[in-house]
Amino acid sequence: MDLLFILIGAGLAIFVILVSFKSIGAGIAAKSEINRQKDKLKSDEIEEEEILEEEELNGNEKGLSSNTFNQIDDVLFEIDKFKNIKFLNTAATKKFGKKLQGKHIATVLRVPEILQNIDVVLSTKKNKKIDIELNNPTFQFFSSYIILNNQNSVVIFLKDLTEIIKTQRLRSDFVANVSHELRTPLQSIKLGLETINKGHASNDFESQKKFLPILFQQTVRMENIVRDLLSLSKIELQEHIRPEKNVDIKKIISSVIEMNNEILKKNEIQAELKAPDNEYEILGDQDRLTEVFSNLIDNAAKYSKKGKKIFVNVENNEESVIVSIKDQGIGIPKEYIHRVTERFFRVNPSKSKDVGGTGLGLAIVKHIINQHRADMDIKSEEGVGTEFILKFPAI
């Protein structure tokens, strides 16, 4: 028994010694690896220093080469005192075309302010910065710098700010639109309240009663705008997150038709759903898709005359699940079809307001469709009807 204990004890001791040797060995190996890496880093540093020194030397000897300017995305021209182009970088060629060397700068930049200021910079020897906005053929915005190069030439450097300015303007247009949309119902509410409070209706109960439905309607209108704005901003924030759950499109559409039963009945419109298979599963967000189909069926009902039909068809193929929502309504004029998904765009604003629209429905739909990585196509003919075709990627 004792012998057994001694043997186990010795075995354990040998094991511990082996393990510690192994870890010491590993430690030594790791250390030498670290040293090797350190040496490598050192030699890399030396190599890098050498390259830098070489580059500095080259730079000092040759100055900045045209190749350097060809690496940047901003446009650069060198212009002589006759305003002819001496040099243009690759970005300038891409933007304004080839074979421009030797040509007058006015052939590409017909901006009087720039032309005049080239002379000013050459004579005063002071650089200038000018913001320029071009609108032909499309909107472009540049910050241009006219920099003295030597006695006889200047460099024109154009920083393209088109996208940034466009986004800024869109945002401020949007704020202006929202304010206008909310102000209109707010003003009618204020006017109505004033009339009831101090105006001709102040002592007339019957007139007061006439104003109340208008006040109520305008309040609902404001509420709808705020609801749609919130929905729009939420989906805009989440547009990049693709839904991950399996949902059945057929089920969603059936329940949307049921939910919209009231407006369909009111407009005497029949909605017909054709979906031969039992299930049409896609990766989707149930609530968002409900919003999409509600908006499309609501529009189809609102922009149709009484007694018309809405045909909803669902189809499957290898790549996609295709939904078509087709109405027999008033249609959309050709020139406006591509604009109906813009925020607050309506073909006929007073008609849209009459039917309780906010002009935001299709903007919301478009974002949700993008979030689902789906496509939306709109076909429409005035007086005949409109068809929205949605293509969702198959699972």
Ligand X SMILES: Nc1ncnc2c1ncn2[C@@H]1O[C@H](COP(=O)(O)OP(=O)(O)O)[C@@H](O)[C@H]1O
Chain positions contacting ligand X, by CB under 6 A: 295, 299-300, 303, 327, 329-332, 340, 345-348, 352, 357-363, 386
Q: Token pair for residue 40?
A: 């490598």
Among 361, 365, 368, 376, which residue sits at the site for Mg ion (rule: CB under 5 A)? 361
Please compute, for residue 148, the number of CA atoms within 13 A of its CA located in the half-sphere on the CB side.
12
248 binds, among ligand X, Mg ion, none (CB under 5 to 8 A by kind): none
Q: Give CA angle at 182 (176, 188), nearest 5°.
A: 130
386 binds, among Mg ion, ligand X, none (CB under 5 to 8 A by kind): ligand X
Give the CA distances from residue 73 to residues 70, 76, 93, 143, in Å, rounded to whole numbers and listed in that order: 8, 9, 11, 14
329 binds Mg ion (CB under 5 A): no
Shortest separation between residue 357's beta carbon and Mg ion, angstroms: 5
Shortest separation between residue 178's beta carbon and ligand X, angstroms: 14
Instruction: Indicate the residue among 55 and 377 with the shorter CB distance to ligand X.
Output: 377
Q: Which residue is nearest to ligand X (CB)?
A: 357
Shortest separation between residue 123's beta carbon and ligand X, angstroms: 56
Shortest separation between residue 115's beta carbon and ligand X, angstroms: 45
d(CA 178, CA 171): 11
* 260: Cβ contacts below 8 Å, ≥ 6 apart: 271, 294, 297, 298, 301
Instruction: Indicate the residue among 145 and 344 with the shorter CB distance to ligand X.
Output: 344
How would you class 27 by CB atoms within 10 Å of its CB: exposed for 0-12, middle for 13-18, buried for 19 or more? Answer: exposed
d(CA 97, CA 75): 12
Residue tagged 């002009």 (tokens): 359
Q: Which helix (DSSP H) or strand (DSSP E) does residue 36 occupy?
A: helix 2-62
Q: Which helix (DSSP H) or strand (DSSP E) does residue 27 occupy?
A: helix 2-62
144 binds Mg ion (CB under 5 A): no
Among 218, 231, 299, 386, which residue sits at the site for Mg ion (rule: CB under 5 A)? 299
SS3 272: strand
Instruction: Indicate the residue among 314 and 340 with the shorter CB distance to ligand X.
Output: 340
Shortest separation between residue 319's beta carbon and ligand X, angstroms: 26
Instruction: Indicate the residue among 329 and 357 with the shorter CB distance to Mg ion.
Output: 357
359 binds Mg ion (CB under 5 A): no
Amino acid at 79: I
Shortest separation between residue 285's beta carbon and ligand X, angstroms: 20
| Nearest by Cα to 362 from 294, 312, 310 | 294
d(CA 370, CA 73): 30
Instruction: Indicate the residue among 192 and 329 with the shorter CB distance to ligand X.
Output: 329
Instruction: Indicate the residue among 243 and 361 with the shorter CB distance to ligand X.
Output: 361
327 binds, among ligand X, Mg ion, none (CB under 5 to 8 A by kind): ligand X
Amino acid at 298: D
d(CA 161, CA 79): 22
Phi, psi of 78 (to 5 degrees): -110, 130
231 binds Mg ion (CB under 5 A): no
Shortest separation between residue 327's beta carbon and Mg ion, angstroms: 12
Query: How many residues touch Mg ion (CB under 5 A)?
Result: 3
Shortest separation between residue 103's beta carbon and Mg ion, angstroms: 52
Instruction: Indicate the residue among 156 and 257 with the shorter CB distance to ligand X.
Output: 257
Instruction: Indicate the residue among 189 and 225 with the shorter CB distance to ligand X.
Output: 225
Q: Which residues bind Mg ion (CB under 5 A)?
A: 299, 357, 361
